[in-house]
Amino acid sequence: MDKRTPPFVVCAVAVFGLLAAHAQAQSSSGWINAYRDTAARLIKAATADDFAWQRLAELTDTYGNRLSGSENLGRAIAWAAETMKKDGLDNVRTEKVMVPKWTRGRESAEIVDPPRHALTILGLGGTIATPPGGLEADVLVVESFNELRMRAADAKGKIVLFNEPFTNYADTVSYRTGSARAGAQVGAVGILVRSVGPVGLRTPHTGAVQYQADLPPIPAAAISGEDANRIARLAARGRKVRIRLSLDGHSEADVESANVIGEIRGREKPDEVVVLGGHIDSWDVGAGASDDGVGCVITWEALRLMKKLGIQPRRTVRLVLWTNEENGTRGAAAYADKYASTAMNHVFALEADSGVFEPARFGFSGSLAARNVIRDITSLLSPLNLAETISGGGGADIDPIAQAGRAPTMAYMGDPTRYFTIHHTPADTVERIAPEEVAKGAAAIAVVTYVIAEMPDRLPK
Ligand SMILES: [Zn+2]
């Protein structure tokens, strides 16, 4: 059976766009029928119980949040390797990665003029400490980097609040990562950023801040959207707002961590690899459930379910739980380095690092030829009622190896509004996530990776 889409369909998609894509979706190519029974078995096994949710709860309850360099992360990594062995996965191993170690310490901030108001804050990951006793300064509120440049003369000696409204993560996150650099350039003494996410329940969101070697590092923290609004309203009325900020973050020498790897060795082409996974590290608040315990669990489930059902695909299916995605992506870099000579044998890479909240979907990046095959494969997922696959797959952990091997990439993504409401906050806990959402992600990923590992020809580049 030919797994490729007939040429006339490729033409039709190009010419008639969405209309043709719709028609194609209704008549997927015949080659996929050979995989229907196994796909149905995987979906049934994944959705039969709440095993995956229970595993996620075990990870987050037993090991807690898992910042790089923490004892929690080390213990979670050891547990994952041991549990993969118990699942019967092949070639289970940990691969050493040196990671940065940053510790938050105590922190607080308040508006000191009457009425005094304690702000809900989280220091940004990697921030330096304020001087002992904290620092006190007037606030300059800006909504963009551009506005800061225009008001540069007003910024000297101030705490700059970036009150950039949240649009989407990709666009807004630059105000978290770039705020301290921009503030240092104009002589600010501290940075507050409006948390990167929709307004929640007065929840601050942490995440990494970046410093620039030729600029002085300045302390930086995120505040809740509500507190950012309050300060902005006061300033807009012409009131001076004075803030005391106290941060205690400090960095230490790099420490040893590891990527955790388990496989189902391919029965015919073991050197060809379908790689998938999530990141085992998290921020140091909440429990790292949606980011990214659940991504680890649903990709892991694909292998556990194949083992359980006695499925050994033609190619190797390799699970990697990457370390240090949040503040360094050293795990991704170490994997790409270690496997550089076999990068071209990576036929496909899938990352789950956007939660599982309904409505969930896949994103895909690759050639039109690969996209047509993926469309046929995802037609097997109709019982799961996923939202339509969109353009743009990939992820921070798989991109280095996928780019080196020119492998098509896929991401499993939950609803971004629900995900980014709790992202990097104390509210990222397992009870936010429904067992059915976890099972569905596991089922979808199991089917996609199984078919790509099993089909006679490689997924086209
Ligand atoms: Zn993540």
Residue 290 CA, ligand 1 centroid: distance in Å: 8
Rg (CA), the chain: 24
> Closest by alpha carbon to 73, among 51, 50, 102, 44?
102
Return the domain boundaries, the chain.
7-100+253-454, 105-248
Residue 258 CB: number of other CB atoms within 10 A? 24
Would you state the pLDDT for residue 28? 55
Residue 292 CA, ligand 1 centroid: distance in Å: 5
What's the CA gap between 362 and 13, in Å, rounded? 20
Residues 6+ apart with CB under 8 A from 379: 25, 28, 32
Which residues of the chain register pLDDT less than 70?
1-28
> Closest by alpha carbon to 425, among 128, 199, 262?
199
Residue 61 CA, ligand 1 centroid: distance in Å: 18
Matching fold, domains 7-100+253-454 and 105-248:
no
Would you state the pLDDT for residue 29? 81
Residue 83 CA, ligand 1 centroid: distance in Å: 22
Residue 397 CA, ligand 1 centroid: distance in Å: 9
Would you state the pLDDT for residue 21? 43
Q: Which CATH architecture has domain 105-248?
A: 3-Layer(bba) Sandwich (3.50)
Class of residue 269 by CB neighbours under 10 A (exposed 0-12, middle 13-18, buried 19+): middle
Residue 227 CA, ligand 1 centroid: distance in Å: 25
- CATH level 3 topology of 7-100+253-454: Aminopeptidase (3.40.630)
Residue 279 CA, ligand 1 centroid: distance in Å: 6
**Which tokens sit at 344?**
């071209």
Residue 191 CA, ligand 1 centroid: distance in Å: 24
User: Pairing mode, if any, of strands 315-322 and 250-264?
Assistant: antiparallel
Residue 355 CA, ligand 1 centroid: distance in Å: 8
Would you state the pLDDT for residue 4? 39
What's the CA gap between 441 and 444, in Å, rounded? 5
Residue 96 CB: number of other CB atoms within 10 A? 11
Would you state the pLDDT for residue 198? 95
Residue 56 CA, ligand 1 centroid: distance in Å: 15
The torsion of the CA quartet 314, 316, 317, 320, rounded to 10 degrees, works out to 180
Residues assigned a catalytic role = 325
Would you state the pLDDT for residue 38? 98
